[in-house]
Amino acid sequence: MKPKLLGTLRRRGPVNVFLVALAATIFSVALAASGLAQIKMEIVGPGSRQFQIAISALKDLGADPNHAISDDFVWVLRRDLTLSSFFKIISPEAYIEDPQQSGYKLGEFNFDDWSSINAEFLVKGAVYQDQGKLALEVYLYDVVQRRQALGKRYLGSRDKVAEMARRFADAILEVTTGQRGPFDSKIALVSTGGGRFKEIFTMSVDGRDIYRVTNNNTINLFPSFGRDPNELLYTSYKSGFPALYLVDLAHGREIEIRSRDGEIVDGALSPDGRTIAASIAQSGATNIYLLDRSGTILRTLTHTNSINVGPAFSADGQMIAFTSDRAGTPQIYLTSVNGGPVRRLTYRGDYNTTPAISPKGDRVAYQSRNGNKFDIYLISIKGGEPTRLTNDDASNQHPSWSPDGRYIVYSATRNGSSRLYLMLVETGKIVSALTEGNSYDSSPTWSWWLAQ
Amino acid sequence: MRQRLLAEHLAEAQRTARSGTPLEGKGTGAGEGSGSAGIQSDPEFIYYYRTIKERIKQSWTFYGGNSELTTVVLFSIDENGNVTSTRIVKSSHDLAFDNSVVRAIRSASPLPPPPEKYRAQFSQGVEAVFKLGELSSQS
């Protein structure tokens, strides 16, 4: 670039002698600043997308004699970093030092023990008691630059250790990839739990902390989070007719939201938790309404004689995506919560449903029917050509975005059983199944971060 | 695949040679004068250049950011192939990305020793532009 500038000036001839002299000065200064580099190269794209990381057991400083806390923390951290798909975890069998003998702070251990097994990053830490509370002090070291990349101290009770590991995993992703990870969150889903009835559960992304929200042996559907991961809306037939239920997961309290205007089909909680977008069936048509928390209609968002269902809020709460068959086949539409004009988003495929707007608001994931099964697709919020994300033998449905927007969780049904899967959106890589066993798991919805 | 990669590197090395950016012998004693354009068409130079470039690329790990991220870093290689300094000349303003670039060069060290006749150039510094590029364009 600098030589180009010089060249341009030079071509103008002697008139610009002064400018040339000036430019030459600038040029040589620039050269000096760049250390007179004569050799230039350009490298496009890293050779690897996976960081090599070693996760050492935590050192017991009196609070973890049998290393159960360390085992727990390391298990969750390993699982989450593996699920992120940005890390390759070096097997502990290769580790040279004994974590109970060596130090965990910078300068108290030897980086050579870690660079020699090709670790680019290293996690070390300790467990101790601090004023009656459990303390986990954990560090991420950059083995190549031989420095500390991250240091955290978590205080809490024993049952919070997995959560501490998730928060640390999210922080590790932030310093290594520039974007906070999505693991300090939960996923709500509908599952038969091996039985006959569809009940609502929540779980962590790593498959632990499974919590049963409903236990009523009827039908429970469409879990939906706002910004507060402790508040969940769902649709249930437990009173004999469909109604919405808003449950406070921290305290187990629940309110029932009925509609005086027709039969509730489904609902979504707004990000701020103040309103609900609900589909309500009334004399042959189903339309979407904005309700307050008592079920009173604040606004009518669709006005057709057809079916409008499956509302989903954007992260800023301003937009709603939904499915409508107003044009003859189910397609995805967008509208404003203020009741603005409705815009059709999808034109490819003759059966497009279950839209989910990305946290950035730039894309919509949805399911589209291919023959006798569904696949997940992605389309720009502006419309255009969709991208197909799944292409396998399963029927893939109900995409939901991670709070960071890098992943989606969805259900894949094969041979009558259904599991949740995690996908890295940018690459379309199916990272892993998140549930297993004989239950039928569907309708996942990913919460916002637990620690706001 | 491998061959295609090498062919691309060779082509790029030759492009670099032709563009000859810093090698106009502008005063400051870079030394090679007009002869320096010759350096980069010397097969010995090209082979070494290509080797270290591939080594650094292979030791570079990153995921994230947007495809526009670019960091320019200056590094020196001593006669034994050790990287003796790394300095960011132009930051991408994404700390995670900048760090990944410095790690790439440091972890590629030691590199093979530079050819004897180019020791001075490699110890004076290599200016490397790291671009994240599109995910889909990578193998």
Rounded mean pLDDT, A321-329: 97
**Judgement on whether residues A167 and A231 belong to the same structural domain of the protein:** no
A157 pLDDT band, cuts 50/70/90, is: very high
**Judgement on whether residues A63 and A138 belong to the same structural domain of the protein:** yes
* B42 contacts chain A (CB < 8 A): no
A282 pLDDT band, cuts 50/70/90, is: very high
**Judgement on whether residues A6 and A149 belong to the same structural domain of the protein:** no
Question: What percentage of chain A reaches a pLDDT higher than 70?
Answer: 92
Q: Residue A45 is nearest to which of B64, B89, B137, comparing CB atoms? A: B137
Kindly tell me if the per-residue pLDDT of B115 is higher than 90: yes
The CB-side HSE value for A93 (13 A sphere, CA atoms) comes to 1
**Judgement on whether residues A107 and A233 belong to the same structural domain of the protein:** no
Contact B96 A41 (CB under 8 A): no
**Judgement on whether residues A273 and A346 belong to the same structural domain of the protein:** yes
B40 pLDDT band, cuts 50/70/90, is: low
Nearest CA in chain B to A26: B26
Nearest CA in chain A to B73: A34
Contact B30 A36 (CB under 8 A): yes
Domain coverage including residue A12? 2-33
Chain B from 90 to 129: CB within 8 A of any A CB: 94-97, 99-100, 102-104, 106-107, 121-122, 124-129
Best of A6, A27, A44, A175 to substitute, by most chain B Cβ atoms within 10 angstroms, is A44
- Neighboring chain B residues of A170 at a CB cutoff of 8 Å: none
Question: What ipTM describes this predicted complex?
Answer: 0.74
Question: What tokens does A284 get?
Answer: 């042959």
Q: What is the DSSP string of B90-116?
A: E--S-HHHHHHHHHHHHHHPSPPPPPG
Report pLDDT for B135: 64
Q: How many CB atoms lie within 10 A of CB A448?
A: 19
B25-to-A19, A303, B74 alpha-carbon distances in Å: 19, 74, 20
The structure tokens 């320019």 sit at: B72
Report the distance separating Cα A399 and Cα A412, nearest Å: 10
Domain assignment of residue A43, yes or no: no
**Judgement on whether residues A281 and A363 belong to the same structural domain of the protein:** yes
pLDDT tens profile B52-110: 999 999 999 998 778 899 999 999 999 999 999 999 999 999 999 999 999 999 999 99
Domain assignment of residue A44, yes or no: no
Positive or negative, the CA dihedral B61, B64, B66, B71 is: negative
Report the distance separating Cα A126 and Cα A138, nearest Å: 7
Domain assignment of residue A73, yes or no: yes
Report pLDDT for B39: 63
Q: Does the N-terminal peptide bond of residue B110 adopt cis geometry, omega within 30 degrees of 0?
A: yes
Domain assignment of residue A42, yes or no: no
Best of B18, B61, B93 to substitute, by most chain A Cβ atoms within 10 angstroms, is B61
Domains of chain B, first to last: 2-25+33-137 (3.30.1150)
A423 pLDDT band, cuts 50/70/90, is: very high
Tell me which residue of A119, A89, A115, A114 sits closest to A104, measured CA to CA. A114
- Neighboring chain A residues of B88 at a CB cutoff of 8 Å: none
**Judgement on whether residues A71 and A203 belong to the same structural domain of the protein:** no
Nearest CA in chain B to A29: B28
**Judgement on whether residues A103 and A240 belong to the same structural domain of the protein:** no
Question: What tokens does B78 get?
Answer: 């001593």
A36 pLDDT band, cuts 50/70/90, is: low
Kindly tell me if the per-residue pLDDT of A20 is higher than 60: no
Q: How many CB atoms lie within 10 A of CB A311?
A: 27
**Judgement on whether residues A27 and A161 belong to the same structural domain of the protein:** no
**Judgement on whether residues A230 and A101 belong to the same structural domain of the protein:** no
Domain count, chain A: 3
Domain assignment of residue A452, yes or no: no
b/e map of B50-74 (b: 16 or more CB within 10 Å)?
Answer: bebbbbbbebbbbbbbeeebbbbbb
User: Tell me, what CATH number does A97's domain have?
Assistant: 3.40.50.10070
In which order are the strands placed within the sheet that holds A395-401?
A395-401, A407-414, A417-424, A429-433
Domain assignment of residue A154, yes or no: yes
**Judgement on whether residues A266 and A397 belong to the same structural domain of the protein:** yes
**Judgement on whether residues A197 and A82 belong to the same structural domain of the protein:** no
Nearest CA in chain A to B101: A46
